[in-house]
A and B are shown apart, each in its own frame.
Chain A
Amino acid sequence: NAGVTQTPKFRILKIGQSMTLQCTQDMNHNYMYWYRQDPGMGLKLIYYSVGAGITDKGEVPNGYNVSRSTTEDFPLRLELAAPSQTSVYFCASTLSNRVGGVPGELFFGEGSRLTVL
């Protein structure tokens, strides 16, 4: 059971470039999230999804886009990368109900370290 898989683990971008961070989970979780974590800070929610075809903004959505065409995949798109987007990005997922899972127990990927120069 792979859990939550993120790719790439590391990436360096030039200002103005675009890229997509991939996230896939094999636990049939309805809810998926993208967070960013800046040095010495907690997690800030970028976007989240409560199911395929449904996405919504979190606290810091500017400069990002997401899509959720399947239950398994939740890619994060960075358009026109800026130095302020240098961060570690985490994808997470959870079950939508209590059956078979702990409410609020998020399963995280290993993170993607992005540097924008």
Chain B
Amino acid sequence: AQTVTQSQPEMSVQEAETVTLSCTYDTSENNYYLFWYKQPPSRQMILVIRQEAYKQQNATENRFSVNFQKAAKSFSLKISDSQLGDTAMYFCAFMKPGGAGNNRKLIWGLGTSLAVNP
């Protein structure tokens, strides 16, 4: 069974600095999707970034980028130029590849609470 581990329950960073959130996972699949979701204090979860395992290039979305190490089964999130609005819970998630019978269920880590300090 797949598992997702986020080893940092809480982190903090100063505004404008860079922070990296860790995520490791366990799977026997060769192709899959990985995601980082953000849950601000307002509680609505939103997608930050995703990575397809067959792509070697690390995904980037503006100030958010990932370091995807497939062999090590590691998927860390780097937030550059941190802003106060980045304060949130961040969840790492795994999904099996698509295809018939795939119910598109996500397997979630327990989350990392990030505080961006002024």
Contacts and interface: CB of A to CB of B under 8 A. Distances in A.
Contact of B98 (A33, A42, A98): A98
A58 B98 CA distance: 19
Contacts, number: 58
Interface residues of B, number: 23
Main SS of the interface on chain A?
loop
B106 A104 contact: yes
Contact of A88 (B37, B43, B46, B98): B43
Interface in A83-115: 88, 90, 92, 94, 96-98, 102-106, 108-111
Interface stretch (A43-51, A65-73, A74-82): A43-51
Given A104-B35, A105-B50, A110-B44, A42 B111 contact: yes
B16 interface: no
B110 A110 contact: no
Given A97-B98, A104-B95, A111 B103 contact: no
8 contacts: A33-B105, A42-B108, A43-B91, A102-B47, A103-B98, A105-B35, A105-B50, A106-B37
